[in-house]
Amino acid sequence: MLYRVYVIELARKVYSEHARFRAANPQFNGVLQCLYVGMTSKTPQERFAQHKRQSLSRKGKDLSAAIVRNYGLYLRPSLYQHIDPMSREEALRVEKGLTLELRRKGYAVWSN
């Protein structure tokens, strides 16, 4: 199975309303956007829709991230479309690396 890494823009109010998000992004100066970085075996569009509707797995586990459900605005393909589908292990590494890269550039980023 192949996985994709994707980026969602979050509403800026996440920074003032979500203490853990704020603590994870001490470098944020408010100039750039607040983002969520994730990985999925679905298309980024399908995964975003899943986050927004609070989908449950067959075992009743919540498949959505509350931060995206509450603050997610839209996908940011310009930040991930250059990344090819990959194995799950590679996607985990790329997700972490992209999160760090975006933070270095001045974005506020959340990733699981």
Give the Cβ contact number of residue 109 at 10 Å: 25
3-state DSSP assignment of residue 41: coil
pLDDT in tens, 47-96: 999 999 876 667 767 778 899 999 999 999 999 999 999 999 999 999 99
Give 85's DSSP letter. Answer: P
| Cβ atoms of residues 102 and 28 within 8 Å | no
pLDDT of residue 60: 67
Half-sphere exposure for 13 (CA within 13 Å, toward CB): 4
What single DSSP character describes residue 88? H
In this structure, the number of other CB atoms found within 10 A of the CB of residue 44 comes to 20
pLDDT of residue 59: 73
Q: Which H or E run includes 81?
A: none
Q: Say whether 9 sits in a helix, a strand or coil.
A: strand
State residue 56's pLDDT score.
61
CA dist 92 to 37, 40, 52, 86, 107, Å?
Answer: 11, 10, 22, 10, 20
Q: Determine the pLDDT at residue 55.
A: 63
